[in-house]
Chains A and B, each alone.
Chain A
Amino acid sequence: MRRESLRRFWYHFGRNPLSLLGLSIVTLVVVGALGAPWIAPYPEHAGRFVNFAEAGQPPSLHHLLGTDTFGRDLFSRILFGYRISLALGVVVLGIAVPLGVTLGLWAGYIGGGIATWIMRLSDVFVAIPPLVLAMAVLGVAEPSLTNAMMALTLMWWPWYTRMIYNQVRSLRLEGYVVAAQIIGASATHIMFREILPNTLPNILTKAALDMGFVILIGASLSFLGLGVQPPTPDLGTMVAEGARYLPDLWWLAVFPGLAILFVVLGFNLLADGLRDALGEG
C-alpha cells in the first residue's frame, strides 16, 4: 500500500536530523524564491533600481544583509537570485533527466547499433569536466541564461543515461521482467511500466543531488560572465561584482556566496536523506 510505504519512508527519513535539515533548507529556499515578490522587503530592487543615497551600506535592521553599490537591498536581490538558480536547475534537469533516462532505458533494454553509439557518446561527455564543457559551448554561443541552460542540459543527460543503462542491465533479468516478457508485453510497457518505476528512487536521489550541482555550476558560469547578464540578480554575478569591493564592502560577495553554499548544502543533505530512506523502503 502506498500509505504504508510513505510511512516507512518518513520513519527512516525523519530519524536522520541532517536529512530534515536539508529538507528544511530546500523548502525555505523554494518558498523564498517563489514568494520573493511578496516576501522580499524591497521587491523593486531586483531590477534596474538605483538609489545612490543608500549605496554600500553594511547590514542593518533596515537592510538585513546590507545594500550594493547602487543602493539595492542585498537580501531582496538574493531572494530573486534564488529564482534564477532554481529555474536553471529545474529547466536543465527537467530536460536532461527525461532525455537521459529514456536513452538509458532504450540502450539498456533494446540495445543495437545506435544504442552502442549513444553509450560511446555519453562516455565522452562523462569524461570531460562539466564546467569546462559548458565554458567551451558558451565560448562559441553568446553568454545568456538560455544558452547556459542549453549548455548545462547538453552535458547533464549522459550521466542519467549511464546510470539507467547499468540499472536496466541488471533489472532486465528480474523475475517480473521475465514474467512480462513471457506474457508477451511490449518493450515499451516493459521499459516504462516495469523497469522505470524501479529506478525512480535512484533517479530522484541523483536529481536532488544534481539540483545543487547545476545551481553551483550555473553560478560559476555567471561568475565568469558566461551566464546570466546583469542587471538580472544572479547569485554568481553578484559574487563576481561584489568581489571587486573586497574587503571593504565584504557583504557584497560574502552573502551571495553563502546563499549559494546554503542551497547547494540543502540539496546535498536532502539527496543523502533520500538515498538512505528510499534504500530502506
Chain B
Amino acid sequence: MADILLEVRDLTKEFAVGRKRVRALNGVSLGLEEGEILAVVGESGSGKTTLANLVLGIEMPTYGDILYRGTPLKTPRPLHMRRRLQYVQQNPWTTLNPRRTVFQSVALPLAVHKLTPPRLWRERVAELLHLVGLGPEFLDRYPHALSGGQRQRVAIARALAAQPEMVILDEPTSALDVSVQARVLGLLLEIQARFSLSYLFISHDLAVVRNFARRILVLYRGQVMETGPTEVVFRNPVHPYTRLLLASVPVVSEEEAALRPSWPWDAQDRLGPGEGCPFSSRCPWAQELCWRERPSLVPIQKSHLVACHFAELFVEEVSHHG
C-alpha cells in the first residue's frame, strides 16, 4: 500500500453567524495516498469548499489536525509547503488576472519558488503550456481572448509550474461545456499519471466522479456520510443521502437510469435536525434514534464506511435486489 500523503483527523471548522456558531465542517477525517485521486462529493453547504480552504491554509481549523507526510501543517503555510500543494479553482473567469498575460500568470510560481532562472522562464512556460495542450502563441495573450476551457488549461499549467506533489481540484470543470469538460478531465488524468500527483477532487457531479476518482467521500452538512472505493459505492450506495444524490443525476441512457436507486420523491421534508444525523430532516426512513443521536462512520465492508444507524437495512435491501 502506498504512503499516506495527506491525512485529515477530526477536522472541524466553526463560523460565527450573528450570535450562533455554525459548524461548516464537523469531525471530518480522511487520508489521501500518494498518487491517488480522492473525490469529495457534496452539494452547497456540505463543507467541501471549507475542507479545501483548511487544507490549503486559507482558513484556520477550529480543531483537528492536518498532517502532510505525517507532520502537522502550520498555518500560515511555510513557502516550501505552498509549492507542494497546489490548487485549481472552479471559476475559469476569475482564476486568471485579466490584466496579466498567460506568461505572467504561469511564470509566477517559477519566480516565487525560484525554480527556474529568469532567462529560461519563457521557455519553461512554453513547455508547461505545451503540456496542457496550448501552443506558444498563447504566451502573450490576455485571459479575455481565451475560452473557459483554455483558461482552465492555463490554470492547470500554473499549478504544474510549482512542481507540486498534490493538487486540490475544486470543481475544475463544472463551469465548462460538456465537450470541453471531457478534454480537460482527460488532460488532468494524463498529468496525474505522468507526474504521479495526488488529487483531492472536489465535485458535485457524480457521473464525472465515477469516471475520474478511485475513491469517493460523500459530505453532507459538514459530515462524512459515506466513503469507499468509487466502484463499490456506485454499485452499492448504502447511505440514503448517497442514494438521493445518485437518484437525482439526470442521465442520457437507459443503462444509467437502471443503475440509479429508486427514491420516494413525494416524501415531505420534516423539521431541521437537532443533535442527530444531519440528513434526518430529509430522510424518508428517519426514526426517533436518527433525530437524537449522530451516527458514527462504521465499516460496512473493508474500506466502505457509512454513517447511518440503519445502514445494515440498506445493505440487505441492496443485496436482495442483486
Interface residues of A (CB under 8 A from B): 1-2, 4-5, 174-176, 178-186, 189, 193-194, 197-198, 200
How far does the Cβ of B27 sit from chain A's closest Cβ, in whole Å? 25
User: Does B212 belong to the interface (CB within 8 Å)?
Assistant: no
Of the listed residues B100, B141, B162, the one surrounded by the most CB atoms of chain A closer than 10 A to its CB is B100
Question: In the complex the two chains form, is B82's CB within 8 Å of A197's CB?
Answer: no
For the complex, give the distance between the alpha carbons of A179 and B82 in Å: 11
B222 within 8 A of A: no
A210–B112 CA distance with the chains assembled, in angstroms? 38
Contact of A184 among B83, B97, B100 (CB under 8 A): B83
- Contact status of A5 and B142, CB under 8 A, knowing A175-B91, A179-B87, A180-B108: yes
Q: What residues of chain B lie closer than 8 Å to A181, measured between beta carbons?
A: 58
Contact of A178 among B58, B105, B162 (CB under 8 A): B58
| Chain A proximity of B244: nearest CB distance (Å) | 31
A residues near B113, Cβ cutoff 8 Å: 183-184
**B79 contacts A194, C-beta separation under 8 Å:** no
Taking the closest CB of chain B, its distance from the CB of A182, in whole angstroms, is 5
Q: How far is the CA of A198 from the CA of B58 in the complex (A)?
A: 23
Q: How far is the CA of A182 from the CA of B83 in the complex (A)?
A: 8
Q: Which of A174, A182, A197 has the largest number of chain B CB atoms within 10 A? A: A182
Q: How far is the CB of A81 from chain B (nearest CB, A)?
A: 38
Cβ–Cβ contact A179 & B142, under 8 A: no
Q: Is the interface of A mostly helix, strand, loop or mixed?
A: helix
Q: Which of A1, A4, A5, A197 contacts B100 (CB 8 A)?
A: A197
The contact string, 1 if C-beta is below 8 Å from chain A, for chain B 80-99, is 00110111010100111111
Indicate if the CB atoms of B99 and A198 lie closer than 8 Å.
yes
Contact A183 B97 (CB under 8 A): no
| Distance of A2 Cα from B83 Cα, bound (Å) | 31
Give the Cβ gap from B224 to chain A, nearest Cβ, in Å. Answer: 25
Instruction: From known contacts A182-B58, A184-B113, infer whether A176 and B145 are also in contact, taking CB-CB under 8 Å.
Output: no
Between-chain CB contacts (< 8 Å), 18 pairs: A5-B144, A175-B89, A176-B95, A176-B105, A178-B89, A179-B95, A181-B58, A182-B58, A182-B82, A183-B108, A183-B113, A183-B162, A184-B113, A185-B108, A189-B108, A189-B112, A197-B97, A198-B98
Q: Does B51 contact A (CB under 8 A)?
A: no
Residues of A contacting B307 with CB < 8 Å? none
Asked if A183 contacts B96 (CB within 8 A), the reply is: no
Q: Tell whether A193 pairs with B89 under 8 Å between CB atoms, given A182-B58, A184-B113.
A: no
Tell me which of B87, B97, B105 contacts A198 (CB under 8 A): B97
Q: In the complex the two chains form, is A184's CB within 8 Å of B112's CB?
A: yes
Contacting residue for A194 out of B97, B145, B155, CB 8 A = B97
CA distance A20 to B39 in the complex (A): 55
- Mark B214-228 against chain A: 1 for CB-CB distance below 8 A, else 0: 000000000000000
Which residues of chain A are within 8 angstroms of B100 by Cβ–Cβ distance? Answer: 176, 193-194, 197
Nearest neighbor of B142 in chain A, beta-carbon distance: A1
CB–CB A1/B162 < 8 A: no
Give how many B residues have a beta carbon under 8 Å from the other chain's beta carbons.
31
Tell me which of B82, B94, B140 contacts A176 (CB under 8 A). B94
- Give min CB distance, A90 to chain B, whole Å: 25
> B116-139 CB contact bits vs A (8 Å, 1 = yes)?
000000000000000000000000
Chain A min CB distance to B281 (Å): 32
Rounded to whole angstroms, the CA-CA distance of A179 and B105 in the bound complex is: 10
Question: How far, in whole Å, are A180 and B99 apart by their CA atoms in the complex?
Answer: 14
**Please, which residues of chain A bring their CB within 8 A of the CB of B239?**
none
Indicate whether B56 reaches chain A with its CB closer than 8 angstroms.
yes
Is B158's beta carbon under 8 Å from chain A? yes
Task: Give Cα A174–Cα B82 distance, bound, in whole angstroms.
Answer: 19
The answer to whether B79 touches A184, judged by C-beta atoms less than 8 angstroms apart, is yes
> CB-CB < 8 A to B91: which residues of A?
175
Residues of chain A with a CB closer than 8 A to B172's CB: none
Measured CA separation A200–B77 after assembly (Å): 31
Assuming A176-B94, A182-B86, A198-B97, is B108 touching A1 (CB within 8 A)?
Answer: no
**Interface flag for B240 (CB, 8 Å):** no
B109 at the interface (CB under 8 A from A): yes
* A198: nearest chain-B partner, CB-CB: B99
A183-B110 Cα distance, complex, nearest whole Å: 10
Instruction: For residue B170, give the distance in angstroms from its CB to the closest CB of chain A.
Output: 10
Minimum CB distance partner of B110 in chain A:
A183
Min C-beta distance of B106 to chain A, whole Å: 11
Please give, as numbers and ranges, the residues of chain B lying within 8 Å of A1 by CB-CB distance.
140-142, 145
Q: Which A residues touch B87, using CB under 8 A?
A: 179, 182
In chain B, what residue has the closest Cβ to A176?
B97
Mark interface residues in B142-154 (1 if CB within 8 Å of A CB, else 0). 1011000000000
Return chain B residues, CB-CB under 8 Å to A200: 99
With a cutoff of 8 Å between Cβ atoms, the chain B residues found around residue A183 in the complex are 82, 86, 108-109, 112-113, 158, 162
Task: Name A181's closest neighbour in chain B (CB-CB).
Answer: B58
Instruction: State whether A175 touches B82 (Cβ < 8 A).
Output: no
Query: Is the CB–CB distance between A197 and B99 below 8 Å?
Result: yes
Q: How far is the CA of A200 from the CA of B87 in the complex (A)?
A: 28
**Which 6 A-B pairs rank lowest in CB-CB distance, beginning with the nearest?**
A175-B94, A197-B99, A184-B82, A176-B97, A175-B95, A184-B112
Tell me how far the C-beta of B84 lies from the nearest C-beta in chain A, rounded to whole angstroms: 11
- The answer for the CA separation of A181 and B91 in the assembled complex, in Å, is 17
Q: How far is the CA of A184 from the CA of B82 in the complex (A)?
A: 6
Question: Within 8 Å CB of A176, what residues of B?
Answer: 94-97, 100, 105
User: In the docked arrangement, what's the CA distance between A91 and B91, Å?
Assistant: 42
Chain B positions within 8 Å of A175 at CB level: 89, 91, 94-96
How far is B142's CA from A197's CA once the two chains are assembled, in angstroms? 13
